[in-house]
Structure 1
Amino acid sequence: MLSPDQPEPELSWGQADSESLLDQVQCGPMSADPVHAPALSREEKRRRRRATAKYRSAHATRERVRVVAFNVAFAELRKLLPTIPPDKKLSKIEILRLAICYISYLHHVLDV
């Protein structure tokens, strides 16, 4: 280590100082050695895992199954609700609102 009042020695073109060598080692290409690889955050690991084609395909399949189950549940609920005409097409929000009203009506009937 040099003291502040000592000048730095001049380096020839073929010679490198220890700091620049350190920078090259730290900033150089990443080694395959897991000990020296930087630790990834949980979020970065999640992003890398979700970026794979296998993950996206599995996620799309799960989403399709979920949507089908969701639609089947609405169809079953729709069958239980009285409407005129009985085959009238209702949106999901209409089914939910009608179900709320019907439950309120049944609750009122049981209370009387």
Structure 2
Amino acid sequence: KLALPPTHSEPDPVASDGGRSVGAEEEAGAVALCPQAKVPEQSEAMKKDLQHLSREERRRRRRATAKYRTAHATRERILVEAFNMACAELRKLLPTLPPDKKLSKIEILRLAICYISYLNHVLDV
């Protein structure tokens, strides 16, 4: 069972882009790469607000960003482990010679496609 990682519940820190403001070109690039992604625009008031933050407040925002990155890395690691386990399970179902031959993930997927096609052909005949 593959579950998508939950979205983080912390407010999106403005400093997540390293403190720079997001330009129109970057927003367009983000939308072009992932049409579902929406990049919120910063209002002038938010930009001015950031300029007046104390050093401690900026550090707090960076820490929140680091917490988010750590949580994201943990979710990503769990997802990769689940994918690796699924590949291992799929590998056990595929016939190869020799039976214990080590296959890469892409080889496992391609062999699975061929094997399923073969089984469909056998059932159709």
For normalisation by structure 2, the TM-score amounts to 0.50
Distance, in Å, in 1 between the alignment partners of 2:112 and 2:62 is 41
Does the CA-based 8 Å contact 1:74-1:92 persist in structure 2?
yes
Identity, % of aligned positions: 83
Does the CA-based 8 Å contact 1:49-1:55 persist in structure 2?
no
1:62 matched to 2:69? The reply is no
Distance, in Å, in 2 between the alignment partners of 1:69 and 1:80 is 17
Q: CA deviation at 1:39?
A: 3.2
- Structure 1 residues 94 and 110: CA distance shift in structure 2, 3 A: same
Deviations 1:22-76 (A, max 9, x none): xxxxxxxxxxxxxxx8136xxxxxxx68971211110110010010001001001
Which has the higher Rg, Structure 1 or Structure 2? Answer: 1
- For 1:80, the equivalent position in structure 2 comes to 93
Distance, in Å, in 2 between the alignment partners of 1:59 and 1:109 is 45
2:112 to 83, 89, 99: 99
For normalisation by structure 1, the TM-score amounts to 0.56
Structure 1 gaps of 5+ residues are 1-36, 41-47
Number of corresponding residues: 69
Distance, in Å, in 2 between the alignment partners of 1:69 and 1:49 is 30
1:39 matched to 2:46? The reply is yes
Q: Which has the higher helix share?
A: 2
- The higher-RCO structure (CA 8 Å, 6+ apart) is 2
Distance, in Å, in 2 between the alignment partners of 1:50 and 1:104 is 51
